[in-house]
Amino acid sequence: MRKDTDVAIIGSGFSAVALALNLIELAPPTARVSLVGARERQGRGIAYVTTADCHRLNVPAGRMSLFADRPAHFTHWLVENGHAATADDFVPRGLYGDYVGDCLDAALKRTANRAVLTLVDAEALHAQALADGGLLFQLSDGSELAAGISALCTGAGTGRLPLPDEAIAEEVRPFIVQNPWMEPWWDRMPEDGDVLFVGTGLTMVDQCLLLVRNGFRGRFHAVSRNGLLPEAHLGHRADPLPPVLEPGRGEVSDMLATLRAAATATPDWRAAMDGLRPITQQLWKSWTPGQQRRFLRHAAPFWNVHRHRMAPAVAAEIATLRETGRLVVHRGGLQALKSEEKGIAATVQGKVLSAAMVVNCTGFERCTVTASPLLSSLAAQGIVEPDPIGLGIAVDDNSAVPVSEGRLYALGPLTAGRHFEITAVPDIRVQARAVAGRIAAGVAA
């Protein structure tokens, strides 16, 4: 069975819902908008599907509104729904998922003088070009959806363990968790065995705290090449400094040196980092592809731990686990996973660590055209192409796929090659509003 729609939004995460909500405000009332993705995950994706209170937003509530033009929308929702939280609080991520879902439900009920929004509870598996420039999507429920304009909001998948298959013994594979968000793996974890987290970022922090809540009494090992953990937010945010860098001025190394000097000279280095937020995308776009690659190769791990921080309460708990010796961080590359009497013997930079289970906490992968069958089918037809430096797909400054003539857009991590800072709510909501305006104009034309 085939259905037609004016706009197809492909995805179940924040960027998909944010685009849909902005679009039905801006598009003509006669427009038909289809939001394609698993209904139970709409607006939650990986980030907000958790129900554990220990999993907190790493951005204060006052900066987490769905709408760029209504910055207090989330905090007002918290008050209206009886939640005692202020703009400076780091609330549970599951609660934020409730907020996004509530906004979506409200939009579905407000049909007067609005574009029609329809939820399609299926996954887009493949797509092919239509003669009129639109796309025909093949869905997991066996149906087809033809769209005049489409937007890809598929997000990023979970990165793989940084090991070749031959370095992993077959007998230990049942004790390796490749995606910690897809199964209740902690139910298989011995209460007093050691666990090895591969990755020391926010995913590791989340999984560590979850084990503690589930009564785990063993020890945590965490390994990454640089051994860096995310820095902490302070309870009260210092006012951001004026930007200390200027796009297009100087080499990357010189800019980073200037940033380090400014951060050292201010009482709270976060003020210098936060001052770059308005121009971070401009800085990235001012660099050549060679400069961008050097940044990713040498500076990105250090940038990320200062840019994507832990909530204060979360940071305090992680600090206590480290101080008491329950969480041990190792610096070096994972080289092999073999079997031993106690479970798994993990070789890290020539040192052997013993663990009952190994959990992949490398975080999100760099989006590529091979990340899903849908993207692969679009790439095979030349409709989308990889970003030149390997971050997502190629888009222009308006987040449009170049060959589509305004008929295909992408949002969120898929556009990281063009925009770089495009994974957090404050950035994606601005992108969603802008893209919604362009799609609305295209539908009205």
pTM: 0.92
d(CA 310, CA 128): 42
**What is the pLDDT, as a whole number, of residue 183?**
80
Within 8 A by CB and 6+ apart from 214, the residues are 186
Cα 388 to Cα 80, 240, 289, distances in angstroms: 46, 33, 8
d(CA 38, CA 61): 26
* pLDDT of 158 over the 80 cut: no
Q: Which helix (H) or strand (E) holds 348?
A: strand 343-348
Predicted confidence (pLDDT) per residue in 333-359, tens digit: 999 999 998 789 999 988 999 999 999
Cα 369 to Cα 211, 363, 375, 379, 388, distances in angstroms: 34, 18, 5, 6, 12
DSSP letters, 75-92, are: HHHHHHTT----TT---B
**Amino acid at position 23, single letter:** L
Instruction: For the chain, give the number of residues.
Output: 445
| β-bridge pairing 220-224 and 327-331 | parallel
Say what the alpha-carbon torsion angle 90, 415, 181, 120 is, to the nearest 10 degrees. Answer: 100
Contact 44, 51 (CB under 8 A): no
Mean pLDDT computed over 162-177 = 91
**What is the pLDDT, as a whole number, of residue 344?**
93
The structural domains of the chain, ordered by start, are 2-157+365-444 (3.50.50.60), 165-231+309-360 (3.50.50.60), 252-307 (no CATH)
* pLDDT of 316 over the 80 cut: yes
Predicted confidence (pLDDT) per residue in 213-229, tens digit: 988 889 999 999 999 99
Reported as half-sphere exposure (CB side, CA atoms, 13 A), residue 132 has a value of: 9
pLDDT band at 157 (very low <50, low <70, confident <90, very high): low
**What is the pLDDT, as a whole number, of residue 112?**
75
d(CA 10, CA 189): 36
Predicted confidence (pLDDT) per residue in 90-144, tens digit: 999 999 999 999 999 998 887 778 899 999 999 999 999 999 999 999 999 999 9
The better pLDDT of the pair 367, 298 is held by 298
Mean of all residue pLDDT scores within the chain = 91
Instruction: Provide the token pair at 347.
Output: 């070789």
Other Cβ atoms within 10 Å of 251 Cβ, number: 11
Percent of the chain with pLDDT strictly greater than 70: 98
Mean pLDDT computed over 44-59 = 85
**What is the pLDDT, as a whole number, of residue 18?**
96
Mean pLDDT computed over 138-162 = 89
User: Measuring CA to CA, which residue among 119, 37, 28, 43 is closest to residue 74?
Assistant: 43
The better pLDDT of the pair 444, 87 is held by 87
Other Cβ atoms within 10 Å of 40 Cβ, number: 10
* pLDDT of 231 over the 90 cut: yes
**What is the pLDDT, as a whole number, of residue 9?**
98
**What is the pLDDT, as a whole number, of residue 372?**
83
Predicted confidence (pLDDT) per residue in 243-288, tens digit: 999 998 888 889 889 999 999 999 999 999 999 999 999 999 999 9
